[in-house]
Amino acid sequence: MDPKKKIDRIDTALAALGPHAEECALCPRECRVNRRSGETGVCQSPDRAGLARALLHHGEEPVLSGPGGRVRGSGTLFFTGCNLKCLFCQNYQISWLGQGRLVDDEELARTMIALQDRGAVNINLVSPTHLVLPILRALKIAYGRGLFLPLVYNSNGYEKVEVLERLAGIVDIYLPDLKYRSGGLSERCSGAADYFGFAGPALQEMYVQQPDFILDGDGLAARGTIVRHLVLPGQVEDSIAVLEWLAETFPPSLPLSLMSQYRPCFRAPADLGRPIEAAEYRAVLQKARELGFEQLFVQPDLFGPGENLNPDFDLDQPFRWKT
Ligand code: SF4
C-alpha cells in the first residue's frame, strides 16, 4: 500500500488506540494501568518501546528470510516484554527478564530505516502486541521517510480483535502463533486460560485483512497470513486439536508453519522439560497432511545433540546461523 495511505491509517489507529496509554486494555490481560506515567502491567512495559535487538534474521521461514535463509534477511526487531509470557519461552531473556533498552519513537523509526538500508526484505515486529502504540508512532515517522518494505506482525496470537481491526491497511503479513487449543494447557504454560478464546477470533480477523498469500518475483512474502504452531513435548493431542480447528476454519491454502524446535527454557513445567521426539513431530505433520494443508513450512523432525535454534541475547550475535 502507498505509504501515504498507511500514514492516514496510522493516524486513525492512534486516535482510536491512544487512550490505552493511560488505561491500558490493549490485550486480553486488560491491566488498566497508566503506562504513560510509568505504571506497568503484565507486559512490564511503559509507553515506550524496549528494543532488545534489531538484526537481519536468517532463520525465519524462507518466504520471510529469503530463500535458503542466506539472502539479505528479515529486518527483525525483538522487543522487550511480552503480554503472554510462556513459562518455556526461548526468548525469556527479553520477554521475562527485561533485556533491552528503552528507545523513543524517533530512534525506533531510524532503526527500521537502517534495516531497510542494510538490505532487509521486510520489517518483522517480534511480539508487537503490547507496544502497538510506540510502534505505530515510529512507523508514521518511518513511512514519511521512505520506508517501503512489507510489515510483518509476528505475534503470539493473544490479541483483541478490536485492536487488530485498527491495523487493517497497515500490516502486510500477519505471522501469528496458535499455541494451544486447551485452556488447561494455556493456563498452566502461559497463565492464560482464555488463550484460545482470544487467539481464535484474532486469527480470523488477521485472515479477513490479509487472506491472499502473495509472493513477489523473488519468492518473498509480500502479503498474507502465515500461522505458526510449535509442537510441545507430550502434547500431540493438543497440536492435533489446533490443526483440526485451523482446517475447519480456514481454506486449505492457509500457510501453516509447523515448528519442532522446542527446547525447555526458563521455567518450563517439569513435563515439558525435554525436546520433542521425532515421532511426535511426525505425528503432527502427518495429521497436517491428512487435513489437506497445501502450504506447509516444516522443520527437521529431530535436531542433533547440541543443535538448537534458541537465541542467546547475552551475545552480540544471538543466533548461530551459518551465513
Ligand atoms: S498491553 Fe501490557 S499493560 Fe496493556 S493490557 Fe496487555 S499486558 Fe496489560
Residue by residue, pLDDT tens for the chain (323 residues) are: 788 999 999 999 999 999 999 999 999 999 999 999 999 999 999 999 999 999 999 999 999 998 765 568 999 999 999 999 999 999 999 999 999 999 999 999 999 999 999 999 999 999 999 999 999 999 999 999 999 999 999 999 999 999 999 999 999 999 999 999 999 999 999 999 999 999 999 999 999 999 999 999 999 999 999 999 999 999 999 999 999 999 999 999 999 999 999 999 999 999 999 999 999 999 999 999 999 999 999 998 777 666 667 888 888 788 876 55
CA of 140 to the centre of ligand 1 (A): 22
Q: Can you give the pLDDT at residue 322? A: 55
* Residue owning the nearest CA to atom 6 of ligand 1: 27
Q: Can you give the pLDDT at residue 263? A: 93
Q: Can you give the pLDDT at residue 194? A: 98
Ligand 1 atom at minimal distance to the Cα of residue 31: 8
- Cβ of 134 closer than 6 Å to ligand 1, yes or no, is no
Q: Can you give the pLDDT at residue 34? A: 98
Q: Where are the alpha helices (DSSP H) in the chain?
A: 3-17, 62-65, 92-95, 105-117, 132-144, 161-164, 183-190, 195-209, 236-249, 278-291
- Cβ of 140 closer than 6 Å to ligand 1, yes or no, is no
Among residues 82, 165, 172, 162, the alpha carbon closest in space to that of 121 is found at 172
CA of 61 to the centre of ligand 1 (A): 29
CA of 122 to the centre of ligand 1 (A): 26
Residue 206 buriedness (CB in 10 A; 0-12 / 13-18 / 19+): buried
Partner residues linked to 321 by β-bridges: none
CA of 22 to the centre of ligand 1 (A): 11
* Residue owning the nearest CA to atom 1 of ligand 1: 130
- Cβ of 24 closer than 6 Å to ligand 1, yes or no, is yes
Q: Can you give the pLDDT at residue 304? A: 66
Residue written as grid cell 484460545: 196
Distance between CA atoms of residues 276 and 27, nearest Å: 30
Q: Can you give the pLDDT at residue 170? A: 98
Q: Can you give the pLDDT at residue 254? A: 98
- Cβ of 29 closer than 6 Å to ligand 1, yes or no, is yes
Q: Can you give the pLDDT at residue 275? A: 94
Q: Can you give the pLDDT at residue 216? A: 94
Among residues 18, 32, 77, the alpha carbon closest in space to that of 50 is found at 77
Greatest Cα pair distance, the chain, in angstroms, is 52
Q: Can you give the pLDDT at residue 196? A: 98
Q: How far is CA 63 from CA 72, 174, 175, 234, 248, in A?
A: 12, 13, 12, 30, 25
Coil, helix or strand for 74?
strand
Instruction: Say what the pTM is.
Output: 0.96
Partner residues linked to 197 by β-bridges: none
Query: Cell digits for 266?
Result: 526458563
